[in-house]
Each structure stands twice: as C-alpha cells, then as structure tokens.
Amino acid sequence: MIIEPKKITKTAKITLVAPSFGCTTEPYLTRLNEAIKIFKELGFQVVEGENIFKEDGIASSNTPEERAKEFMKAYDSDTDVIMSVGGGELMCEILPYIDFKKIKRQKPKWFVGFSDNTNLTFTLTTICNLVTIYGPCATKFYLYPFKFDAKDTLGLLEGKRILRGYPRYELTSLATPEKPLAKLNLTERKIIKPFNYKEPIYGTMLGGCLDCLINLCGTKYDNVANFISKHTGIIWYLEACDLSPLGIRRALFQLKEAGWFKKVKGFLIGRPLCGDAETFGVDKYTAVIDVLQEFNVPILMDVDLGHLAPSMPIKNGAKAVVSYVDGNIKMEYLKKYRPR
C-alpha cells in the first residue's frame, strides 16, 4: 500500500540536504540563503544539512557516503520535510549507502527534489511505497510571495489536491551572478499538444527525469515491476535534461523493453531542454510518439514539466486524475481512488 506523509502545518520542520550538488555558486548560493530567510520568516523551522554549502565531492557536495549519511540523518530526525537544495550529476552514487529497509520502518517524511533527485523521489516511491514530491529544490523558494511551482509545492505539502498548468514559461533566464534574485522571464506561451486524448486519465503518478530513470533501469534499485503490479494503472510523467531527441527515443525504447510501461494509462511529457533540435528527422515529438503510440493511451506533449521553468510539482506515487481542458492540464489528487 502506498503511504503518504501527513500534510504539514505552518510551523513544520524543514531539513535541507545536498544529496547531489551543494550551493556554492551563483545564483544558487544567494537564492538558498534567501529561501532559508523566507522559510524562517513564515514560521517554518529550518535545519541546515552539513553539505548544503559544500563542493567537496566529484561534481557533488561531498562523497557519496557523506551525502547519504546526511540524508539518513534527516530521515532519522523528527523533521517533517526533507528538501534537496539542488540537482546535479552523480546522485546515483549515494544509493548503495541509503538504508531503504530502515526508511520503511520509520515514520514517513516528505522528500522534495527535482532533476538528479529522481534518484530518491523515484526509489523512495517504488522501493519504500512512499509518496514523494518531484518538484522544485529549495533554491526555487527565493521570491515571496511564492508563485507557480514554489506556491504549488507548498500547497501540496499542506494538503492541496488540485493543480493546473501555467500560462507561460521561461526559455532564457534573466539570472546572472550579479542578479541572482531575478524573476522568471516568462516570454513563451504554453502550448500543450495532445495525442490520442479522449477523456480524463486515472492512475498512479510515476516518473521523473528520463536521464536518471534510464540509469536506474535494470539495477538492483529497479523495483518497477513489483511496484506496478500492485497498481491498477500508471500515469507516467517524463522530462529530459541532457538528452537529445535521439537520446529520448533510445531512452523510451529502453524503458519500454524493460517492461516499465506494461500498465500505462497515459503519458505526460515535459518540455525537454533540447527544444526544437532535430536529427535525422527525429524531433522531440516524433522521438516520443513513434515509440509510445503502440500503447494506444493518451500522450500529452510539452506539459508544464521539466527544466524550463516553471515546472509543475508532482506527487510521485499518488493516485490522480489528469485532464486536458481548454488547452491546459489539470491534475487532481484523489482521496479515494476507483480505477476506470
């Protein structure tokens, strides 16, 4: 049975950790300090992990052992939320040092993270049956009042059940080392492209950053077959960071052939960083449709998800109904779930 941590209060304890990158460069350093200040002003108790301002590891805040130790210490504590301060490159290396069996025995806690944090948002769900939040890291909470993904993430933690997409997104950031607190540059109009959509999609939300998921596939941390066997249907949400259109196509082929999409009810595909790139006639749309159309389920392309901000936070492992209405996406998390 999937377990969802309790909704938080206005005085909840938030522990910040750095299981991948630490915040040592701009704009992340200034943004994290500002986010900590704002969280405290709002009444939250903030605990700063040992690694959040470090870069002592290889492309990471610290060694894999120390990063895992920081996370396990947070999970052993009385905190309500564990929030990553950033994404990165080599978070996968902490997995051998994460005690998933111990986590299963403890009081469930929220974990919030994005991008490379898929390594924990996904495994905590599929191995420990915990609902996590694939959503913005702590540095996204640097502007108050909160808007877009920051506002919705806090809403999910407080029990909000309905989210909708955003009208515009940022293609080019205004942030610089001299202006780390710049607002989002929302110049691009959101256009979702539906494929085979006929009615709302019901299922369990599951997914994350495609770059990380293919790295987990086939390892001892791949518990997808067992997880999906316990669920009526899965709504896969996927977004890509470094992958080209051909890389996306190869990644989807890998997950398909590994049986991950066996009980799929629909796909939500975010805006990839590769944008309008095309190689050998393959673009971001054909890379997906050509591989996934055989499942004959709805596919929503260019949803508000991914590395082009703002990106909708998603409760990984939660039951939901996803609708496409008037060119926008609506996601409702269900208290009681009846498969359709």
What does the pLDDT profile of the chain (340 residues) look like in tens digits?
A: 899 999 999 999 999 999 999 999 999 999 999 999 999 999 999 999 999 999 999 999 999 999 999 999 999 999 999 999 999 999 999 999 999 999 999 999 999 999 999 999 999 999 999 999 999 999 999 999 999 999 999 999 999 999 999 999 999 999 999 999 999 999 999 999 999 999 999 999 999 999 999 999 999 999 999 999 999 999 999 999 999 999 999 999 999 999 999 999 999 999 999 888 998 999 999 999 999 999 999 999 999 999 999 999 999 999 999 999 989 999 999 976 444 3
The residues, ordered by sequence, that sit 6+ positions from 330 with a Cβ below 8 Å of its Cβ are 162, 163, 164, 165, 322, 323, 324
Instruction: List domains and CATH numbers for the chain.
Output: 13-160 (3.40.50.10740), 168-333 (3.50.30.60)
Which among 85, 65, 83 is positioned nearest to 74, based on CA atoms? 83
Q: What is the pLDDT of residue 336?
A: 60
Phi, psi dihedral angles at 213 (to 5 degrees): -65, -40
Which among 141, 112, 114, 113 is positioned nearest to 37, based on CA atoms? 141
DSSP state of 84: E
Taking the CA atoms of 276, 279, 285 and 288 in sequence, report the sign of the dihedral they define: negative
Residues across the chain: 340
Distance CA 38, CA 245 (A): 39
Distance CA 235, CA 320 (A): 8
- The helix (H) or strand (E) run that includes residue 299 is strand 299-306
Residue with tokens 């936070």: 313
Q: pTM of the predicted model, to two decimals? A: 0.96
Residue with tokens 């301002």: 53
